[in-house]
Amino acid sequence: MTIPQILEFCENAARRIDDSAWVDSLLAGGMSRQFLAIVVRVGNHEVHPALLCESGLGAQAMRKLPMALQTEIIEKTKGVPLVSKNMAGYWETTIEDPMLMNQSEVEQVFGDGTVRTKEEQRAWLNSGSPKPARPPSR
């Protein structure tokens, strides 16, 4: 399938989600209810299409963000700020791909439907929350 065909399928799914026979045929064909829910959200323009087939923790957090913020992160900034302390003990900020983040980084960066600011991340880190497992600079 091409990208336009996938988007058309998602939009069709959003229109037909109340058609139980159609939904049952998708589920019988192997589609999970969880994936169907994401397909419908893409079709309703609530989830960026780039997050359709992503299953990691970063994608899960991204799908909770407003569509405009998802689009900004995916298409403009190409990532989210991640605050950490460097080897000298100074704060530094890098732009990271949410799809590559580990659990601690996702918890640090994403709040309830938001991306934490640099200041909020510093406060989160200073509160004794788990530290990111990977080194701050790559």
* Residues 58 and 123 grouped into a single domain: yes
* Residues 65 and 88 grouped into a single domain: yes
* Residues linked to residue 83 through DSSP beta bridges, in sequence order: 93
Are 43 and 35 within 8 A, CB to CB? no
For residues 45 and 121, give the distance between their C-alpha atoms in angstroms, rounded to a whole number.
29
* Residues 132 and 71 grouped into a single domain: yes
pTM score: 0.83
* Residues 120 and 84 grouped into a single domain: yes
CB-based contacts of 12: which residues, under 8 Å, 6+ apart? 43
The tens digit of pLDDT for each residue in 66-83 reads: 999 999 999 999 999 999
Domain span at residue 103? 54-138
- pLDDT the model gives residue 133: 45
* Residues 121 and 76 grouped into a single domain: yes
**Taking all residues of the chain, what is their mean pLDDT, rounded to a whole number?**
92
Are 9 and 1 within 8 A, CB to CB? yes
Count: domains in the chain: 2
Residue 138 has pLDDT above 50, yes or no: no
* Residues 74 and 98 grouped into a single domain: yes
